[in-house]
Chains A and B, each alone.
Chain A
Amino acid sequence: MGIELHSVGSPPGLRLSQRIRQIPWSLVILVAMVASIGFVMLYSAAGGDPDRWMNKQMIRFAVGICVMLAIGMVDLQRLAKIAYPLYAVALVLLIYVEFAGEIGMGAQRWIDLKVFQLQPSELMKISLCLVLARYFHGLSYEEIGRPWVLIPPTLLVILPAGLVLKQPDLGTAGMLLMVGGAIFFVAGVRWWKFAIVFALGIVGAVVAWNSGFLHDYQKARVLTFLDPSRDALGSGYHITQSKIALGSGGVWGKGLLQGSQAQLNFLPERHTDFVFTMLGEELGMVGGLLVLTLYSLLVVYGVAIALRTRSHFGRLLAFGIAMNIFFYFFINTAMVMGLIPVVGIPLPLISYGGTAMMTVMVGFGLLMAVYIQRDHRVGRRSSNEE
């Protein structure tokens, strides 16, 4: 089997026409469906004004589809090659914004490139998947059992996560850690090592809480999450109003443009972080479950690709991307429903804003690339293979 695969796999790559024929249109349609729900919600969030948010979002999505298809055409071998340089660039940019970034929402997060605003942390979400896939691709199962082999990838995760947390962006830092951890896990890192890290993590959290590493507003968010009534008009206001909006939507919702919480401004950030709340208010539990189902299908799609792929690099990359999408929508929806603290993670494709959309579209592009080249080999060492 394996020998045949190798022979099929070389010469590397398919011709462009072959790749185009392989495009998984069902994935594209699924993505478009989620994005369309987003358009409808942005139309409603603006009180029926398409120009305010919806039209811009459609343009972004059109660009995003092109990016997705373009990345889907890229050779896996080439992706493996640029994994380390891309990671390096992302890390440098993260360090750069630490000193010179624009301040938005009380945190240093982006670089103004005039054409668009680049968030290095978003770039890092993608590069981290690539670089970890690339690293573990080069290791055998036995090698993974050796502790020192795990030191470089651990640093690859800890460094950017720490920088992002410093920005401070608790949500994204958490996502980087969890996506990284998930890739470690499926790559075959031994169970007991996770137990140790988990224990260390708890100790670290306690230390961080007491050492002043967390900003006051971050602490407030955690405390408010634990007891929203602690600050009903301040930090707790968001969550309280969000729960009222969701709950009052009922099974069928109040109807588009009819959500009193969203339309009368009681719901903060209704077009960005709390767009799911508005959807729940106006379209009810039915609408909410539909969105959760569509996102779950996207994640299942990604995991299915990972399982179908022969190359370890492709498998880990596809799985990492799927985890990214999962954490994106899980953190956002759990946050607006009051299950976890408010951490400021948007709902990709539906929330207004280009950055999160670009990240997931790039991610879907990578998924597509893996899918198209699911039966291809990727060299262990990029220099001496092929």
Chain B
Amino acid sequence: MGRIKQQQQSHQRVFTRRVAILGGLKFGLVGALASRLYYLQVIEGEKYKLLSDENRINHRILFPPRGLILDRFGIPLATNSPSYRAILVAEQTPNLQATLEAFSAIVPLSERDIARTLRQRQRTQDFKPITVKDDLTWEEVNAVELNLPDLPGISIEIDQKRVYPFGGITAHILGYVALPNEKDVENDPDPLLRQPGFRIGKNGLERHYDAALRGGAGESQLEVNSYGRALRELARREGDAGSDLVTTLDIGLHQFAHQRLSSEMAGAAAVMDVYTGDLLALVSTPSFDPTAFYRGLTNDEWHELSNDIYGPLTNKAVAGQYAPGSTFKMMTALAALRAGIRPTDRVYCSGVTVLGSARFHCWRREGHGSVDMTNALKLSCDCYFYEIARRIGIDQIAETARMFGLGNIEGLDLPGEKPGLIPDRAWKKGALGDIWHQGETLVAGIGQGFITTTPLQLCVMTARIANGGYAVKPRLVRRIAEESPNDEGNPIFPSLGLSQEYLKVLRTGMDMVSNTERGTAFRSRIDIPGMELAGKTGTSQVRRITMAERARGVLKNEQLPWNQRDHALFVAFAPVHAPRYACSVVVEHGGGGSAVAAPIARDILIECQRRDPSRRNPNAEGGRREMP
């Protein structure tokens, strides 16, 4: 008994001691748990609170409405309109295939639409919407809404899409919006660009003023669960709407000019207020459909557009560089006046000017006889200008031409503007590494040879002649609505410092071109009193006429393939005695300036003056601005 008792006691002692050891260990472990809890929930608590909010809250970017683009009278040229999209949430339909078939009975779906929808379904979570069909018509929306009970999972969503009411007519100026490419995204930190479906300005004014038009992103904070399903909106901040852009265009005139010019294969025209520089019309034909770029071009479409010989993608008004031909003669004449040649000085035109061994022909084989400066302009006598160009030299001609905006970028708000080329000795030495030949001066004197200008530049040149020698600059945008809501002011331009007498000689010559018999554009005069125009024709060769051909007889334009025919040009201002509008027209390979370009310019200027607000309502637009 004693042994057992003793054994039991020692057993119990060991047990008690060891239980105590393990008990201490357990207290230590529970203490570790408690400290861990303290560490996570108190010391690191704030950090984890942030992380849990990050989990819980999904920030969604809201698209701001893009600013409108308006013409000078407030007519919208680019707007946003609701676009209806049928979407499908897979988890809400018991049978996807059946729903699509039912939908197809109301709004026909192509095989491709169905295949795309099913493909999207594979990649999308059950509760996320997939697009079944884009851009439904209002009738289709109504039909779908009516049948919604039979279309489980389908609903209609409203998006904004960019709409150009005038389509291709304004495409060259407005450009278009399209999805940003990788480079756009790289260069712009705006989160909007990272949103699927967001479009940015890719050309024209849409691109140049993209920042103002775009506005600022809004944000919606959504509470989401771990699958990303939105449960409720916690906060919402609407984006800042883009600013509206008021352009200088008179869309009615612009549209008229576009249609008028479309009678030819390809061309450009510009109409500008000679005092303010406002471009009322800036046309380039043929054009393209900007909505095709909105949805994205297929490869074939892109190929076709970019290889079209009529160049629909080029804005020829600012990027088309043509030899100005005889429209340049005002510059040669003005350079001569500045060099001291009197307008009454006469030159005898026999039909050909001989310089060394080279012969320079007048367009009229028989010659014009003895002509002074104004008559030389009126008849567009080449020999007269060969002679005065020879006397004053190329550098003086170039200097005068540059004063009138030729050979320079005008700094318009459009991408792709080209400078043209006004050559001189220095240029030839630098660019071609050759000395200037006198024969080249003669050719330059009639606007041929190296010289190229854009239709916009010719318009600016004409405006500066018409407004009394002020360095008017063209502009396309009057104001950005949000930035300067009350700024209707017109810019003030410095004088070029030329004698009014000289400019009067040019204007008289141009007057005679149109308004006196035998003037090269007499047939395209305006005989409405008070609206008469003064102009200058131009026909610029694009090929070289050889001696042999001249001997056989020069081929008529009609006998040549289109792209070898002459360009037809015409510049004009009106009304002749109180100039307000300048206009230039270039018809690519159109033939003769007087036959093809002048009638178009005449029609445009008649329409322009008819639309003049001071004629329609004298109080509509702060009256005419007088230049001293």
Using CB atoms and an 8 Å cutoff, list the residues of chain A in contact with chain B. 1-3, 140-142, 182, 185-188, 241, 243-251, 260-261, 264-266, 280, 284-285, 288-289, 292, 296, 299, 303, 306-307, 312, 315, 319, 323, 326, 330, 333-334, 337-339
A266 touches B7 (CB 8 A): no
B33 touches A330 (CB 8 A): yes
Given A285-B41, A312-B11, A333-B33, 5 other A-B contacts at CB below 8 A? A3-B1, A248-B48, A292-B37, A312-B15, A315-B15
Q: Indicate whether A264 sits within 8 Å of B231 (C-beta atoms), given known contacts A247-B45, A248-B49.
A: yes
Partner of A246, one of B16, B30, B37: B37
Question: What would be 24 A-B contacts, judged by CB atoms less than 8 Å apart?
Answer: A2-B8, A142-B7, A186-B18, A241-B55, A244-B48, A244-B51, A246-B40, A247-B41, A249-B45, A250-B42, A251-B42, A261-B56, A264-B55, A266-B52, A266-B55, A285-B42, A288-B37, A292-B33, A303-B23, A319-B19, A330-B26, A337-B37, A337-B40, A339-B32
Q: How far is the CA of A186 from the CA of B15 in the complex (A)?
A: 5
- CB of B225 closer than 8 Å to a CB of A: yes
A250 touches B11 (CB 8 A): no
Q: Indicate whether A247 sits within 8 Å of B44 (C-beta atoms), given known contacts A182-B22, A260-B55.
A: yes
Residue of A nearest to B38 (CB): A285
Partner of B7, one of A141, A292, A296, A333: A141
Interface string of B3-14 (1 = CB under 8 A from A): 011011011101
Return chain B residues, CB-CB under 8 Å to A241: 55
Q: How far is the CA of A247 from the CA of B15 in the complex (A)?
A: 40
B7 touches A264 (CB 8 A): no
A248 touches B19 (CB 8 A): no
B51-69 contacts to A (CB < 8 Å): 51-53, 55-56
Return chain A residues, CB-CB under 8 Å to B1: 2-3
Q: How far is the CA of A334 from the CA of B440 in the complex (A)?
A: 94
B226 touches A264 (CB 8 A): yes
Q: How far is the CA of A161 from the CA of B55 in the complex (A)?
A: 40
B41 touches A250 (CB 8 A): yes
- CB of B237 closer than 8 Å to a CB of A: no
Give the top 5 A-B pairs by smallest Cβ distance, nearest first: A247-B48, A248-B52, A265-B226, A264-B225, A2-B5
A247 touches B7 (CB 8 A): no
Partner of A247, one of B10, B30, B32, B40: B40
Q: How far is the CA of A326 from the CA of B27 in the complex (A)?
A: 10
B30 touches A296 (CB 8 A): yes
Chain A binding site: helix, strand, loop or mixed by DSSP? helix
Residue of B nearest to A268 (CB): B226
Q: How far is the CA of A359 from the CA of B16 in the complex (A)?
A: 26
Q: Indicate whether A264 sits within 8 Å of B224 (C-beta atoms), given known contacts A141-B14, A188-B15, A299-B26.
A: yes
- CB of B29 closer than 8 Å to a CB of A: yes
Partner of B48, one of A140, A243, A288, A303: A243
Residue of A nearest to B15 (CB): A186
Q: Indicate whether A140 sits within 8 Å of B41 (C-beta atoms), given known contacts A185-B22, A247-B49, A306-B19.
A: no
Return chain B residues, CB-CB under 8 Å to A261: 52, 55-56
Residue of B nearest to A187 (CB): B15
Instruction: Kindly provide the distance from the CB of A248 to the nearest chain B CB, expressed in whole angstroms.
Output: 4
B391-447 contacts to A (CB < 8 Å): none
Residue of A nearest to B231 (CB): A264
Partner of B33, one of A249, A319, A334: A334
B52 touches A326 (CB 8 A): no
Instruction: Kindly provide the distance from the CB of A24 to the nearest chain B CB, expressed in whole angstroms.
Output: 19
Instruction: Kindly provide the distance from the CB of A26 to the nearest chain B CB, expressed in whole angstroms.
Output: 19
A248 touches B33 (CB 8 A): no
Return chain B residues, CB-CB under 8 Å to A249: 41, 45
Return chain A residues, CB-CB under 8 Å to B19: 186, 303, 306-307, 319
Task: Name, among B7, B18, B52, B226, the residue most crowded by chain A CB atoms within 10 Å (CB to CB).
Answer: B52
A330 touches B30 (CB 8 A): yes
Q: How far is the CA of A323 from the CA of B19 in the complex (A)?
A: 10
Return chain A residues, CB-CB under 8 Å to B128: none
B52 touches A260 (CB 8 A): yes
Q: Indicate whether A326 sits within 8 Å of B26 (C-beta atoms), given known contacts A266-B55, A266-B226, A339-B36.
A: yes
A243 touches B36 (CB 8 A): no
- CB of B223 closer than 8 Å to a CB of A: yes
Return chain B residues, CB-CB under 8 Å to A266: 52, 55-56, 225-226
- CB of B610 closer than 8 Å to a CB of A: no
Q: How far is the CA of A1 from the CA of B290 in the complex (A)?
A: 107
